Structure 1
Amino acid sequence: MIYHSDKIYLVVLTFNRINLLKECINSILSQSNLDFELVIADNASTDGTQAWLRSLQYGCNSCDLILRDFNIGASANLADVIRSKVPKGAWLSVICDDDTIEPNFVAEARKEILNNRNLEPTCICFSHREFQSIIHSEGVYHKNVKGIFYGKDIVDSFNKGDIRVAGISGFFFKSQGAGFKLLDYPRGFLADTYIVYTEGFRSCLISSDKCVYNRRAWDGQESFYSDENMFMLFKSFVMFQRDLESFIHQLPVEKRFDVKPPPLRSWFFIFWVPILTSGSFRLNDFLRYLSFARSQKSKSLHYVYMFIFLCLFASPISLNIRVALNLFRKRITHGRS
């Protein structure tokens, strides 16, 4: 028997990616378990996406379309879909329009929901693979540690890398219906982690080592490691730390715990390795990071980290370090190809 609380919704957000969107939708309609509702929200595309979606709807009874006349932004698009289309208590997964899912994506989610109903979980995270823009290899496998996590363990597991998500996609969470709020972080960076944290806190988080989601990596100016995206990601980290502390403070006293920022090694590999290998990063860019952290009155260790690397960038050896790291990265890349 399928209970109302076990109902699954797959939500696809799209804008001007018709060819990639077709691959995405094909993977969704090829599921071994078709017991789900599909909602596709187009954010005013101009590449023929809306016409194609209308033709698709004729042959897909479970497909619900939202075709917008003007672009309202990705965060607002998702929030509106959840409030208007996904009832409170139903399970929800967001699928990016440039990604694909494995045929057992819904089946594995259904299995976790039924097997753990007595725990009343509010979030389920799966492992995923990350591919380059043109899928031509095995991709990078991000495997989660299998288990059940509560409260503080969720944060610690994310900080250690035991649980990872494919951006805003590839995991399931319980819909809050009209009460859903999505924080408008730059480019949506860390909005996914905030959802996983807060939804997991409501009960518990199930982490699976099954790899059922395929994420397409950005390249060029869209790259995760482009200078501008790195700065926006940094802004999201500062805002995320502030918002998470605020969320914990609002919890009942018995559920509160000390929120620890990510360890130094996480900051180094997320920000400073890509920055050090970028010859375009200058002292003025670094001061921009510091200025934003100060403006947010961050209570975490941003100042300590920044002071260390400020000294490094102010020294004459910084250029040599960037050149050496860049050569090392190229050798590794060449060795893999």
Structure 2
Amino acid sequence: MVVLTGELKADLIGQNGWEHSEPTYNLRLGGAALNTASVLARLGSPVRFVGEVGDDRLGQWALQQLEAQRLDTRFVRRLEGALTPIALAEVESSGDSTYSFYRSFGPTQFQPDKGSLARAQWLHFGSGFAFQERNVAGILELLEIAQEYGIPVSFDPNLRMAVDEGYLERLRQYLPYISVLKASLEDAKLLFPLVPSEPHRLMEKLSELGAPITVMTLGAEGAMATFRTRMMRVPGVRVRVVDTLGAGDTFTAALIYGLMKQELATRIELITWEATRLPVVLAAACHLSALACTVPGVNLREGDLQTWWERFG
């Protein structure tokens, strides 16, 4: 069972919307952790989501969407009197995306159920959700439980803007619990603005944060990882890009899936792993992430998914 915690929001996705007098938008359920959860479920992993929605129509729709994706929703709370968050995503002609967020939960504290980690074999969290003050205590509670039971924990910063000292202080609070740190090259540049932008220099800085496995994605150029004193790199996969929405989250899903296939049942097993298969896991994640870029949104074609699974699954 993979447990993921994060934000659930209604995504309004527009294609070059402001370049037209009457922009149109498609509605889908979004959130970085949710995107990762959805892909993991399609890969056949049992998945549980821990989060919140409002008690509005969007909240009810969100729960229906989660259930349709075969996610365990028992630990998704509906907050009385709250509105479900909305994100406006603009996909440019290049395939790149920009976001505007409208959040409405206010100061109400995130209070995950302690039973949400029952039978968990992996816990994943990250993004801005992990750094909103209302969520921190609840996330730390989950991390403490994961540590007590030896559950591996992965983290994806998924940054949208430069960070301040408050962010770094919170990150340092999370780091002792993190088994796998997955970041993008853009994340690393925002975390370390004074470090030269060469990937290997940024990879070194990321690995200094201390996670047993550190992974950095390089977009079309592939991915890098460090494990103990080893640094490795795998090439990317060239595709015709439609949009990049959810590509990083898809990579994260394939990374978690691949690591779990190595039968790393506990954090200790992950730390003591020989990692001879890590380059293969990274290559598989790059392939699935590239396929995600060939379709709008986080909507992998069934045929592509089957072909990937036959090769890497």
**Which structure's residues are more often helix, by fraction?**
1
**Fold shared per TM-score above 0.5:** no
Max Rg structure: 1
TM-score (normalizing by structure 1): 0.28
TM-score (normalizing by structure 2): 0.29
**Which structure's residues are more often strand, by fraction?**
2
